Chain A
């Protein structure tokens, strides 16, 4: 009997090696089934002398448990191998490119306008807008540019009728704001402007302007410099410096041209800044008393500063865009670049 038990165990140990799930199930029947080797062993049990039965009973049970446990363990192993095989068949090449669904984006001009607005909002400037079709009065006369002022020749203007034109600057919004709102005023005026410029890489008959106006009792030239310097640093980076050179705009006095240190060469001189190290950004100055008086503000009590920069110019400098016409071509290869 002992021998038989031992033989069965040896046979089992031999046969269980590297079996598939199906073979293991067959093996289970072969050993543990109703007619299986172990069952037969139990049947031959009655031939064993009584006093040895307990001993052999324990031995056979031990064998049965051993086979059960071994098969169970092997089944689990085989199952996991099988699952793995199945999963492998469903393998996905993770290096395949992902499927792209087109997502939208704002035009770079809108993004630049948004950034500029946010910077000035953080400095307490309200954002104002106004009409593109303007009266000559708001675009010129109220701004100290009477009919035959030489400065009118600086800006070639599109006219719709004798006294109606397409605004050449967003300054008319400033005048309208001064007429309508209580002092003090701290605004930026934002929007599309028109000038009769033949298109080339740096001119286009349509462009956008951001103008600022502050009118209060103690607004100084030093404040103007401080405000534009802060704006330039927020827009272009902390390392950027601002320079003022004398210039002439009829609605400001003193008037200045504002430049920033060249963001391309860091001020060392390159082709973009024509080796000057500076990039001209726009005009600024202290509001001319005539402009204040035109809207009924006492220029002896109130004073202010104003500035006007081009949005396209800001975007071109910030993103190194070489040609202003690209903004209006809307080539997707251009637009896509500014989605990051």
Chain B
């Protein structure tokens, strides 16, 4: 909200600079995010009256003779919304318009132009407050605008504006008058006196004639405890007077017509939402009731809306004519033909309006005000203020209001001094309390150990004791309180076991040379298509996504991890070795979230270097990383060849622990990579984190190691080409003596002189014993047995040198 300093000064006197005022308000809780300065917006621009206007033959241009006070000027314009008698802004030569361009004398096909006429946008007026037509067309000023004056005096827009950020519990600051009340409190606090809001109010003496003889029946007294209707008869709907338009300009509101302008002004200035009905269209009585299922209303924005019992409506005999506190109906809206109106000024409960507005998906200034909590005692006064203005603007005659009130007086709030001291951790004396409550204009009675406090009706935020404790803090100053540390029992703080494990896991992965990434957990449909994901039924869709590419909770880490590769390819980072520990989501009976660890490798572990040493990532490098984790967390696993839609069929495997699949790994297929513009090979593996956890945290016990020299023996095994290495290794292990400490595969060979269809696996075996030196014979014996076993189990042969 932008609040004009000039306009504030028209209500309350103060000497603060805009910056000082901003600081004071911020420290009081009304946050000023900045100050907008508007200066010299209309330099050299005058008001002028169109005397004659004639179309120039064969052009879209017109020649206008404009009186600018002492002289007439001739101006050529493309505008089509002018007629003689209109008062318009005239930029004479050498004045500056907002685009920064100098206005010069010009010639249009031999017809001289002594300047230009200005549209709203050329004047730099807030385009948000204007309709399309108004943005383009020349600004037509009210008919009572003096001619030959500086425009800056007519539209006093040059000013400093406070950029206010409003809190949801302080509707009282939602209008200019409310901000003035905050300033009054700041002044009272500074001067050490009681705040006096009455002097900020304008007194209205309304001339009335007749009564509002329409019955008003409130069916929902809790939702609408106060409703005032007032007839204003014999009005003329036209453009507003200059003085009202000036006020709207300062409130940064768009002028429409005198009726709308008055209600907007009362809203922006006094914070009271009003509504105006064309009284001649209303049939019979006015009812304030809940809508019935199946009822419909066409609202002011010409949209037909289905109502439900969530909506409180204003209805007549024909049905709903407005949605209470939210938006009016189209049928009873004021038009240029309207002669008699019914002015509504009411109080609707915050919950009622919030439910109603949200059920329809509408938010208006009125609904925002009621939701935050309007002043329940102000509607009657607001009706007088508005009626007075309407009668001045429209020459209409206001009748006596018909007000129905079911308001109950608000109980004062009890503040126990001991309680305040306990919460704040500091002494609170009665003298200070008296002072603070006076600064805020609260009424209070003082008892032995407590205060009974009644805040003004606009302070809807003061409901209970803690609210008053906050007022103590605000009035004393948030930063006047000391800083002390908690006193309490020493317990030995800790992370949860699970979180300790996650940290441990991440650290282990970093030690393995991987970079941690954190990707977003929302993905789009296109990600499913990318990887050929078919389990869409189980994935969770947001009811109200921000965009199509963030519409689902990710059921797997792969898509967002791949997008990291895409990003880094663009940044020319070709060597990528990353991991993410993150949540994946699926819908089974309930929504389920599980932590997964994904690892993605592409490129090499070393960059290009002058030694020519290159260490490219590969599927088996990735497998090595996983094996390191399984060893580290003591989780025995097996790898089984399996197929996945996004990986090469013969280069992917499921990872199994005790028969249960706990993860998988493989080489991403080129079809997926091509779609992302990736060319290098990519290896991806994933594991359910909780499966690693089961053995985490066990004590590590020292194991003794051999002090005797170990014996090494290399063997070469010739097997069929399609024999798996795992089978060969298991065959060796099945007959190995307990002294075999280590078995290392160090060579795989195919080709001459081996027969076709055979391969050679070379192993280095290391034997050692904790209690003796091993003798050659024992190992020879093992080799003998091994020969037979290999033959039997894997159709293999030991190769003899």
Does A246 reach chain B (CB closer than 8 Å)? yes
Residues 412-439 of chain B: 1 if any A CB is under 8 Å from the residue's CB, otherwise 0?
0000000000111110000000000000
In residues 264-291 of chain A, which contact B (Cβ within 8 Å)?
Answer: 274, 286, 288-289
Q: Please, what's the 1-or-0 string for A105-128, where 1 marks a CB less than 8 Å from any CB in chain B?
A: 111011000100100110111111
> Is the C-beta of B537 less than 8 angstroms from some C-beta in chain A?
no
Residues of A within 8 A of B481 (CB): 221-222, 225, 244
B546 within 8 A of A: yes
Q: Does B38 contact A (CB under 8 A)?
A: no
Contact A330 B567 (CB under 8 A): yes
A222: nearest residue on chain B (CB-CB)? Answer: B425
Main SS at interface, chain A: mixed
CB distance from B699 to the nearest CB of A (A): 23
Whether, in the assembled complex, B107 has its beta carbon less than 8 Å from a beta carbon of chain A, the answer is: no
B485 & A227 in contact (Cβ 8 Å cutoff):
yes
Q: A133-B593, A150-B168 are in contact. Are A126 and B424 (CB under 8 A)?
A: no
In the complex the two chains form, is B466's CB within 8 Å of A104's CB? Answer: no
Check B473–A254 contact: CB distance below 8 A: yes
Tell me, yes or no, whether A73 is within 8 Å of chain B by CB: no
Is there an interface contact between B34 and A274, defined as CB atoms closer than 8 Å? Answer: yes
Q: Check B29–A245 contact: CB distance below 8 A.
A: yes
Alpha-carbon separation in the docked complex, A186 to B485 (Å): 13
Return chain B residues, CB-CB under 8 Å to A331. 567-568, 571, 573
Of B243-251, B488-496, B681-689, B722-730, the one with at least 4 CB within 8 A of chain A? B488-496
Report Cα–Cα, A247/B31, bound state, in Å: 8
Please give the distance in Å from B591's CB to the nearest CB on chain A.
Answer: 5
Q: Is the CB of B609 within 8 A of A330?
A: no
Which A residues are CB-close (under 8 A) to B26? Answer: 245
Structural contact, B28 and A223, CB atoms closer than 8 A: no
Q: How many A-B contacts at CB < 8 Å in the complex?
A: 259
Residues A105 and B576 in contact in the complex (CB < 8 Å), given A125-B493, A227-B485, A247-B29: no
Tell me whether A132 is interfacial, beta carbon within 8 Å. yes
Known interface pairs A222-B426, A245-B27, A332-B571. Does A148 touch B470 (Cβ–Cβ under 8 Å)?
no
Closest to A99 in B: B609
Q: Verify B470–A160 contact, CB threshold 8 A.
A: no
Segment from B115-123, B350-358, B781-789 that makes contact with A = B350-358
Contact with B along A125-159 (1 / 0, CB 8 A): 11111011100000000000001111101100011
Residue of B nearest to A198 (CB): B546
Q: How far is the CB of A180 from chain B (nearest CB, A)?
A: 12
Assess A246 versus B29: contact at CB under 8 Å? Given A104-B512, A127-B499, A129-B498.
Answer: yes
Minimum distance in angstroms from B602 CB to a CB of chain A: 11
B483 in the interface (beta carbon within 8 A): yes
Binds B, one of A32-40, A62-70, A211-219: A211-219
Interface size on A, as a range, is 35 or more
CB distance from A332 to the nearest CB of B (A): 4
How long is the Cα–Cα vector from A331 to B585 in the complex, in angstroms?
25
Question: Complex formed: what's the CA distance from A283 to B611 in Å?
Answer: 56
Which of the residues A160, A247, A257, A328 comes within 8 Å of B540, measured between beta carbons? A160
Chain B interface bracket (under 10, 10 to 19, 20 to 34, 35 or more): 35 or more
Q: Could you tell me if B486 and A186 are in contact, using CB atoms closer than 8 angstroms?
A: yes
> Is A127 within 8 A of B494, CB to CB?
yes
Q: In the complex, which residue of chain A has the Cβ closest to the Cβ of B579?
A: A104
What is the bound-complex CA distance between A126 and B491, given in angstroms? 9
Q: Is A288 within 8 A of B466, CB to CB?
A: yes
A333 to B575, CA, bound (A): 12
* Residues 147 to 192 of chain A near chain B (Cβ within 8 Å): 147-151, 153-154, 158-161, 164, 166, 184, 186, 192
- Selecting from B43-51, B336-344, B515-523, B745-753, the interface stretch reads B515-523
Confirm or deny: A253 has a beta carbon within 8 angstroms of a beta carbon on chain B: yes
* B545 adjacent to A158 (CB under 8 Å): yes
Q: Are A161 and B426 in contact (CB under 8 A)?
A: no
> Are A223 and B494 touching (Cβ within 8 A)?
no
In the complex, which of the residues B28, B169, B469, B550 contacts A150, with contact meaning CB atoms closer than 8 Å?
A: B169
Contact A254 B469 (CB under 8 A): yes
B546 and A218 contacting across the interface, CB-CB below 8 Å: no
Q: Which 10 A-B pairs have the closest CB atoms?
A: A220-B425, A246-B29, A148-B354, A254-B470, A222-B425, A104-B510, A226-B483, A150-B168, A244-B478, A330-B517
Known: A121-B495, A205-B550. 6 other contacts (CB 8 A): A104-B514, A132-B583, A160-B541, A160-B553, A220-B425, A286-B469
Q: What are 22 A-B interface contacts by the 8 Å CB criterion?
A: A102-B605, A103-B510, A126-B495, A127-B494, A127-B499, A154-B168, A192-B583, A216-B486, A216-B488, A219-B486, A220-B423, A220-B426, A221-B481, A222-B483, A223-B486, A243-B479, A246-B470, A330-B518, A330-B567, A331-B573, A335-B516, A335-B517
Residues of A within 8 A of B (CB): 96, 99-107, 109-110, 114, 117, 120-121, 123-129, 131-133, 147-151, 153-154, 158-161, 164, 166, 184, 186, 192, 194, 196-198, 205-206, 214, 216, 218-223, 225-227, 229-230, 242-248, 250, 253-257, 274, 286, 288-289, 303, 327-333, 335
